[in-house]
Amino acid sequence: MLDKARTLPVDQVFMDIEDAVAPLAKPEARRNIVAALNEGGYDGKVRSVRVNDWTTQWTYADVVEVVEGAGPNLDCIMLPKVQTAEQVIALDLLLTQIERSNGFEVGRIGIEAQIENAMGLINIDAIAAASPRIETLIFGPADFMASINMKSLVVGEQPPGYDVGDAYHYILMRILMAARARTTSSPSTVPTCRSRMSTAIAGLRVAAPRWASMVSGSCTRARSTRPTRSTARARTTTTRQNSSSTPTTITPRLRGVPVVPSCWVTK
């Protein structure tokens, strides 16, 4: 799958060390990711790696091994389950130390923050402004739904009995406002969903146009050392690459639109 990703017409490839990788397989996954990034072949694609969240014992090793091993060939670190600004600051400081100690350009590697629970949403303003590295605010509907005990098994669809309005409207607009309120380098907000349920696809097909209609245009931090994300609303795909197994993970999204759900499904 890592080789296949090089040939796909996608905007971004992200390699996962989080929930797609079993605990005992994480060291091997890190080595596989470093090798793949250094081999190259991802021209025109944003190269991102999702590490484990700060509540686990794996985060520091994920960041240190991947960035020290392939920092010049990495564009972003995706940090899941962000709940406070301090978690973003901690990642920023760790990245800065690694960059300085290895002679890498300081500040080039961006941060993509995933909002996946109520605490993260409450602190979204502080999270969005926590670091100049912040490029993307990611909404994870599946984990968020679980965190607030939403009674629905269809990710992205309305819960049973919620027959007026949109249960996700406040969440999406809250994230969007936090992004737009930043006067410098305001990030895109790309809601995402992770699910192994085939029913999630049906729900997201209904929800995606509704969410995407909320805003248009892109406000990603401009960086000369990585591909510039187009503001054209061209249809494309985004993919996740599991570094130790073989998931199928290609789903459509609208290119350059700040609020767009994408779904990563593991077989």
Q: Which amino acid is at 61?
A: A
Predicted TM-score (pTM) of the model is 0.76
Q: Give Cα separations from 158 to 149, 153, 164 (angstroms).
A: 13, 10, 10
Look up residue 125 and give its DSSP letter: H
- Tell me the pLDDT tens digit for each residue of 121-159: 999 999 999 999 998 888 888 899 999 998 887 887 888
- Tell me the pLDDT tens digit for each residue of 247-265: 322 222 322 323 333 333 3
C-alpha–C-alpha distance, residues 252 and 201, integer Å: 11
CATH of domain 2-264: 3.20.20.60
Q: Would you say 220 and 229 are in contact if contact means Cβ atoms under 8 Å apart?
A: yes
C-alpha–C-alpha distance, residues 81 and 101, integer Å: 28
Spacing of C-alpha 81 from chain mean position: 10
C-alpha–C-alpha distance, residues 264 and 51, integer Å: 16
Give the number of other CB atoms < 10 A from CB of residue 62.
Answer: 25
- Tell me the pLDDT tens digit for each residue of 90-102: 999 999 999 999 9
Residue 256: exposure state from Cβ atoms within 10 A (0-12, 13-18, ≥19): buried
* Domain regions of the chain by residue span: 2-264
